[in-house]
């Protein structure tokens, strides 16, 4: 026994020799806990598992550090099929005492047999599902599930109890008794099983009494020939008289016998057989329905997964198209190549104009492409000036269509050229293309509010 304060070993003295704590009450409590542990152990040894649980729980309520009691409680839970409760107790035990604790080997034993552990966990889930079915009035489904549970884990007491109760409800006392006897083989003093068995016994006694009262009591018929003769007895001589033997009557009697037999078969045996067949058929339908519903759930899950995968594929395909299609990087490269061709052909104005379709140089996929862009882009001011001069020439020759085109292209190449915008507006005004003229005047108003053309621009916009 260790001191509750400092953890050092205690002697027969009522105080700790190390820290001086008074351990009189503590020793009494620990002894009481051990006494309950001993009681629990004795009960477990004679397979009174319910009683053992009660004693061990009391022992732990007194002293939660009673490792032996906790380990034994886990073992009893495990024996009754409550594996998760058992594991919980062993984990707690391991937490209280990490070394030289048999709980470690119990936990290792369960962890090393994952397949069986998974099966037991599934049976617990199915039992809980069955309980839901039973509480919801779906007794057939509950019975089917419980039968599976008991096949996989026959020591699962709770499942055996629930199946017994459902069998009692169905008045199938034979099956109920089988379940209850199974329980009592595992847990000898299981109070629920004993109570159910007693109730079944009472019901069967009442039924037997009803049956016996529905018929006349059998009386032993005394053999008159063996009785002694009395004074009033009349002696009749033996006679040789026989019933007339008629062939037709015999045949009729046989036929009537056959008919009665057929009727018995038809009215008594066949319905029972049909009932049995129908019952089997219904059970099969329930089982197939269950399989079908689980199959449908799986199918829906797979369909959903397929839809998700297809959506993901479409999204990725779109991304790839955006990146590498003619609207993505390829479009930029095509524009750059066209521009480079014009540049090589010494048509620098066209080269600069073609470069205009590349909105942002950083979108180009390689450094070489960016360098080429910058080389061609350096010709942009010269190209703008050339177009501006051509526009001016056309304008003063009163060729406003050409002039408008040149000035518009100039402004596109160099958006700082307010003169180009003004001439473009004037050219379009001459051509009476009001919308285009207004567009360029609007550029002046928006982008060059301090330019000398601002009053003309405002006037034109307000008049048109």
Partner 1 sequence: MINFDDEIKKFQPSLEVEEAEDAIYNNDFPDVTDIINKIINNLSDK
Site residues (vs partner 1, CB under 8 A): 4, 21-22, 25-26, 29-30, 32-33, 60-65, 81-82, 84-85, 87-88, 91-92, 121, 124-125, 127-128, 131, 134-135, 158, 161-162, 165, 168-169, 196, 199, 202-203
> Is 57:76 a contact under the CB 8 Å cutoff?
no
State the Cα angle at 38 between 34 and 42, rounded to 5°: 170
Nearest distance, CB of residue 165 and partner 1, angstroms: 6
Nearest distance, CB of residue 232 and partner 1, angstroms: 56
Separation of alpha carbons 26 and 16, rounded Å? 11
Q: What is the separation, in whole angstroms, between the first and last Cα of the chain?
A: 106
Between residues 122 and 451, which has the closer beta carbon with respect to partner 1?
A: 122
Between residues 128 and 293, which has the closer beta carbon with respect to partner 1?
A: 128
Between residues 186 and 364, which has the closer beta carbon with respect to partner 1?
A: 186
Ramachandran quadrant class, 156 (left: phi over 0; alpha: psi -120 to 50; beta: rest): beta
Write out the two tokens for 241.
Answer: 């008289």
Between residues 163 and 413, which has the closer beta carbon with respect to partner 1?
A: 163
Between residues 26 and 343, which has the closer beta carbon with respect to partner 1?
A: 26
Separation of alpha carbons 104 and 86, rounded Å? 12
Nearest distance, CB of residue 315 and partner 1, angstroms: 34
In 149-308, which ranges are E strands? none
Between residues 15 and 431, which has the closer beta carbon with respect to partner 1?
A: 15
- What does the DSSP 8-state code read for residue 238? P
CB-based contacts of 440: which residues, under 8 Å, 6+ apart?
A: 408, 411, 421, 422, 424, 425, 428
Nearest distance, CB of residue 166 and partner 1, angstroms: 9
Write out the two tokens for 10.
Answer: 């205690």
Pure H helices in 269-379: 270-324, 329-344, 348-355, 367-377
Nearest distance, CB of residue 93 and partner 1, angstroms: 11
Nearest distance, CB of residue 64 and partner 1, angstroms: 4
For residue 2, the SS3 value is strand
Nearest distance, CB of residue 123 and partner 1, angstroms: 9
Separation of alpha carbons 107 and 299, rounded Å? 37
Between residues 50 and 161, which has the closer beta carbon with respect to partner 1?
A: 161
> Is 443:421 a contact under the CB 8 Å cutoff?
yes
């Amino acid at each position: 026994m260790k001191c509750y304060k400092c953890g050092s070993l205690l002697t027969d003295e009522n105080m700790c020799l190390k820290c001086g704590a008074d351990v009189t009450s503590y020793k009494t409590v620990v002894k009481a806990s051990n006494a309950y542990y001993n009681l629990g152990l004795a009960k477990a040894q004679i397979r009174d598992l319910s009683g053992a649980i009660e004693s061990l729980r009391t022992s732990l309520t007194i002293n939660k550090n009673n490792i032996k009691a906790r380990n034994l409680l886990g073992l009893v839970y495990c024996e009754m099929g409550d594996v998760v409760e058992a594991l919980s107790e062993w984990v707690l035990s391991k937490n209280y005492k990490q070394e030289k604790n048999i709980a470690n080997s119990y936990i290792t034993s369960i962890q090393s047999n994952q397949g069986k552990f998974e099966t037991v966990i599934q049976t617990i889930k199915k039992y809980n599902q069955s309980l839901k079915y039973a509480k919801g009035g779906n007794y057939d489904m509950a019975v089917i599930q419980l039968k599976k549970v008991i096949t996989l884990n026959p020591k699962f007491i709770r499942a055996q109890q629930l199946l017994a109760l459902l069998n009692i409800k169905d008045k199938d006392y034979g099956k109920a008794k089988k379940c209850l006897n199974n329980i009592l083989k595992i847990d000898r003093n299981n109070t629920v099983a004993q109570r159910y068995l007693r109730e079944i016994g009472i019901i069967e006694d009442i039924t037997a009494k009803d049956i016996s009262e529905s018929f006349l009591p059998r009386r032993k018929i005394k053999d008159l020939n063996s009785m002694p003769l009395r004074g009033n007895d009349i002696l009749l001589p033996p006679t040789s008289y026989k019933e007339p033997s008629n062939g037709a009557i015999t045949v009729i009697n046989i036929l009537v016998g056959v008919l009665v037999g057929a009727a018995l078969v038809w009215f008594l045996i066949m319905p029972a057989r049909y009932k049995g067949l129908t019952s089997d058929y219904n059970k099969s339908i329930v089982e197939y329905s269950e399989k079908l519903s689980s199959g449908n759930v799986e199918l829906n899950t797979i369909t959903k997964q397929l839809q998700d995968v297809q959506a993901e594929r479409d999204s990725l395909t779109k991304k790839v198209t955006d990146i590498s299609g003619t609207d993505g990087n390829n479009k930029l490269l095509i524009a750059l190549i066209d521009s480079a061709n014009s540049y090589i052909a010494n048509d620098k104005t066209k080269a600069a104009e073609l470069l205009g379709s590349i909105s942002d140089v950083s979108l180009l996929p390689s450094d070489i492409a960016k360098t080429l862009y910058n080389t061609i882009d350096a010709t942009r001011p010269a190209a703008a000036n050339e177009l501006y001069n051509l526009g001016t020439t056309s304008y003063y020759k009163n060729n406003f269509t050409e002039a408008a085109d040149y000035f518009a292209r100039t402004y596109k190449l160099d958006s700082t050229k307010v003169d180009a915008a003004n001439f473009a507006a004037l050219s379009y005004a001459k051509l009476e293309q009001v919308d285009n003229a207004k567009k360029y005047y609007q550029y002046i108003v928006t982008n060059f509010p301090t330019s000398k053309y601002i009053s003309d621009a405002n006037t034109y916009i307000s008049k048109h």
